[in-house]
Structure 1
Amino acid sequence: MASKVSVKETLIMSIRTLKSNKLRSLLTMLGIVIGNASVITLVGVGKGAQNLASNQLSNLGANVLFIVPGNNDTRRRGVAFPKNLVLKDAEAIKEQVPSVKRVAPQISSSEVVQYKSKSFSSSILGITPNFLQVRSFDIANGRFITKEDLKSARNVAVIGSDLNKDLFMRNQAIGKKLRIKDQSFEIIGIMEPKGAVFGNNQDKNVYIPLNTMVNRISGKDPTYGISLSFISIEALNEQSINKAKFQITNLLRQRHKITKDDDFAVRSQKDALNIVSNITGGLTLMLAAIGGISLIVGGIGIMNIMLVSVSERTEEIGLRKALGARSSDILIQFLIESLILSILGGLIGTLVGVSSVGAVALITPLPAQIGAKVIMLTVSLSGSIGLVFGVLPARRAARLDPIVALRSL
């Protein structure tokens, strides 16, 4: 009569069996270790990319809208932006849109900045005094551009913190002269570090009065006059953002005499964040899927090794059945062996993956991170894979005829 084998006894036998084949067990677990580590690392990196983008967007300023020339179609086709967003548009928005608090028109150009024998390529931004408040920038040393600087088109400049280090090292930059094109500019201020936005390091920018930019650097457009790169708008508060967006769109459509497609786009920080979140979310999902494939490959490895183990342990299975072990006991033992391999491999892979995410966050600018839910889900998934891929070998072992198995003794 078949005697019932306790789960504890089965577990002890499974552990002994795995210990007796340490190298094989380690190689079997390797696939799960790599799969688990891949999932956690790739998801952590994807989450880090999402965090980095969110942090950069938060640097754009609070309650801010951005008006850029060109519509979505021109951006998709890579067509050069039209020059129909002009200074008078910015002035009209300030005067006629009640939900707007401040307006900061801007002209951008890439130029070589020189100080003595040193030269660097930098973004030159022609701005107005409102830029500081609208974009939530701060001054570290000196002062910012004033209304008098703007009105008189003075050759003064405020530089970013990184550019200050590149040009002057530890020397005092205030009062020094730097050259942009053939013009000399006096440095009146240094910005607090702000960081990068979409790959553009804002700490290497040079800020000069808008009128100076037009008169000395960019010039006027013969058709449109003072063409702007874009306009930054600060709404009265967070609740006014949608209202301001609607009012600005209607005003510019009237000013530009638009009857069909807009020749401009109004974007909020939230719009940009949603776009970036969708992109990075899709990237994270794709990376998780790639890691998941590694887990499945690890599961197939477990199944292959367990099938080989069944073939090698035919005599053992036959002997146990002859001594009274039931098919269910054999089935449970092989499933437990698969579970032990997959769960242990999952835990080791989790440790490796979490360490990799920490290393990425420590060594690179990417704020990679991984949540407890993802870790628990990954470990559970690796255990499930061991169970699923261990079923076939376990069933094959359980179905062995003890008489046939004992003939090989």
Structure 2
Amino acid sequence: MNFLESFKMATAMLAANKLRTSLTMLGIVIGNASVIATIGIGQGTQKLANQQLETLGPNILFVMPGNQQGRRTTLNLPKTLVLEDAKAIASQVPSIKQVAPEINQRQLISYGNQKTNATLSGTTPEFSSVRNFQIATGRFINEIDLKRNKRVAVIGSEVSNTLFKRRSAIGEQIRIKNIGFQVIGVLEPKGSFFGTNQDETVLIPLTTMAYQIVGRTSPYGVQLSVIHIEAKDTDSVRAAKFQIENLLRLRHNITNEDDFGVQTSKQMLSIVGNVTSALTLMLVAIAGISLIVGGIGVMNIMLVSVSERTQEIGLRKALGATQSDILIQFLIEAVIISLSGGIIGILSGVSIMALVGLITPLSPVVSSGAILLSLGISGGVGLGFGVLPARRAAKLDPIVALRST
């Protein structure tokens, strides 16, 4: 008997038991769909993180307060960054281009009866350039606003849409902690950055934020949430990081553990990449377990099929079918079940990714490598778990098989 005849007989037997065949494939379908969707969403997450960090530029650094290794600092050290630290960095570090200190907190922003929660940030005119925030209408904060502690605000696109709908926000008065601020600018849509919606932001002068909203919170000066720094170029980033760390250690009298952390955009990208890769690998491993379970299901059903078809096997052997003919037929049945389940699972996984792409900012990546790997694993599972039932069927004694009926 040739391979084509064995294939026809295998497909005919599977078609005759549609419900059982479909239920057997279910585990393979779920496993493949999980693998494809997990890999695609993981790669989409990494791609989104790359895109977000690319908007910052490769020569951006962030100085954040607190010990970055989660260890306690000594009690006599300052616990936060202050405005004087940012000024010292701007004046004493030769490898940097611009410094933009920031104080931020969540606040309720209101206009008439409209209200929204947004990230309120007090910052300086350099913030727009360092963080690549573009103005859609109006203007950004300037030095005069800073020196006079003016109550002016630049709002994000979503804040503008929520509070003003389709009206122009320029010149209108919004309220923050019962203080009126005049809107002088609206930002271009920016999107999310590490889970924070940058379009839900309100920017005001740093001095106004420090003296009228936050108040004095540190004995060392105006406490900062973060300092954004732009190095002169990509080659200057490492030198800038080294110089900033040394300067702050001198200013804070640090001899042991730092009470601050300096991160570059590349370091943040590397951290995000490592986290997403680890999570994707873990989820793929979990999804792979369902493929193994599906393979066990294929083996169980094939064993049941062997016991039910002993008369058929005995009759075929009596008519001259060899052990290899029986072995090949049952192996083909197992592989067809697994490959069919794999194809359906891949289509289901791609559909899941498309749905995720529609309802989230992610753009899942359909990887040809992942599809080929998934199909290969499916075929391997069918072949591997189909060997035992096929060998059992091939070794049946035709006389015993015919008598068993």
Measured against the shorter chain, the TM-score band is: over 0.9
Structure 1 residue identity aligned to 2:377: L
* Residue identity matched to 1:378: S
Q: Distance in 1 between matches of 2:72 and 2:16?
A: 62
CA contact (8 A) 2:99 2:227 kept: yes
User: What SS does structure 2 have at the residue aligned with 1:148?
Assistant: helix
Partner residue, 2:53: 57
Q: Does 1:123 align with 2:119?
A: yes
Partner SS state of residue 255, structure 2: coil
The 3-state SS of whatever aligns with 2:223 is coil
Query: Is 1:405 matched up with 2:363?
Result: no
The one of 99, 102, 108 equivalent to 2:98 is: 102
Question: How do 1:157-168 residues align onto structure 2 when only pairs under 5 Å count?
Answer: 157-168=153-164
1:306 alignment partner in structure 2: 302
Q: Which moved more, 1:118-127 or 1:252-261?
A: 118-127
How many residue pairs get aligned? The number is 402
With over 3 angstroms needed to count, the CA separation of the structure-2 counterparts of 1:227 and 1:58, relative to structure 1, is same
TM-score (norm 1): 0.93
Match of 2:327 among 298, 306, 331: 331
Indicate whether 1:372 and 2:368 are aligned: yes
Q: 1:187: Cα distance to partner?
A: 0.8
Deviations 1:253-275 (A, max 9, x none): 11111100011000011111111
Unmatched segments (≥5 aa) in structure 2: none
**Aligned residue type for 2:252:** H
**Equivalent residue number for residue 33 of structure 2:** 37
Q: Partners of 1:322 and 1:172 in 2: how far apart?
A: 89
Query: Match for residue 274 of structure 2?
Result: 278
1:296–1:385 CA contact under 8 A, matched in 2: yes
Counterpart Cα distance in 2 of 1:59 and 1:194:
9
2:290 corresponds to:
294
Q: Work out whether 1:85 is the aligned partner of 2:81.
A: yes
Q: Distance in 2 between matches of 1:215 and 1:379?
A: 63
Q: Provide the residue aligned with 1:26 in structure 2.
A: 22
Gaps of 5+ in 1: none
1:322 aligns with 2:326: no
Alpha-carbon deviation of 1:61?
4.5
Letter in 1 for 2:137: N
Partner in structure 2 of residue 386 of structure 1: 382
Asked if structure 2 preserves the Cα contact closer than 8 Å seen for 1:59 and 1:194, the reply is no
Cα 1:348/1:84, change in 2 over 3 Å: closer
Distance, in Å, in 2 between the alignment partners of 1:91 and 1:159 is: 26
Task: Give the counterpart letter for 2:113 in structure 1.
Answer: S
SS in 2 for 1:72: coil
2 CA distance for matches of 1:69 and 1:308?
A: 65
- 8 Å contact from structure 2 (residues 89, 244) kept in 1: yes
In structure 2, C-alpha distance between the alignment counterparts of 1:83 and 1:117, rounded to whole Å: 40
> Secondary structure at 2:175's aligned position in 1?
strand
Equivalent residues of 2:78, 2:220 under 8 A apart: no
Identity of aligned residues (%): 57
Which of 227, 237, 240 aligns to 2:236? It is 240
Tell me the TM-score normalized by structure 2: 0.94
Deviates more, 1:41-50 or 1:326-335: 41-50
Show the counterpart of 2:145. Answer: 149
- Of 48, 65, 89, 2:44 maps to 48
Alpha carbons of structure 1 residues 73 and 293: separation in structure 2 relative to 1, 3 Å: same
Structure 1 residue 202 corresponds to structure 2 residue 203: no
C-alpha distance in 1, partners of 2:268/2:246? 21
Q: Map Cα deviations across residues 201-242 of structure 1 (whole Å, 9 max, x no partner).
A: 221211111112222112234511111111000011112111
**Alignment-derived partner of residue 186 in structure 2:** 190
Find 1:265's aligned residue among 257, 261, 273.
261
Deviations 1:301-358 (A, max 9, x none): 1111111111111111112222222212211111111111111121121112111211
Query: In structure 1, how many angstroms separate the alpha carbons of the residues matched to 2:388 and 2:212?
Result: 78
d(CA) in 2 for partners of 1:47 and 1:222? 42
Is residue 9 from structure 1 mapped to residue 22 from structure 2 by the alignment? Answer: no
CA distance in 2, matches of 1:319, 1:222: 91
Aligned to 1:174: 170
Distance 1:408 1:182, change over 3 A: closer
Work out the CA distance in 2 between the residues paired with 1:253 and 1:353.
51
The CA distance in 2 between the partners of 1:31 and 1:264, in whole Å, is: 50
The amino acid of 1:45's aligned partner reads: I
What's 1:71 paired with? 67
Secondary structure at 1:207 match in 2: strand
Distance (Å, rounded) in 2 between the aligned partners of 1:74 and 1:310: 61
SS in 1 for 2:237: helix
The amino acid across from 2:308 in the alignment is E
Pairing 1:220–2:224 present: no
Deviation for aligned residue 1:109: 2.5
Worse-matched range after superposition: 21-30 or 230-239: 21-30
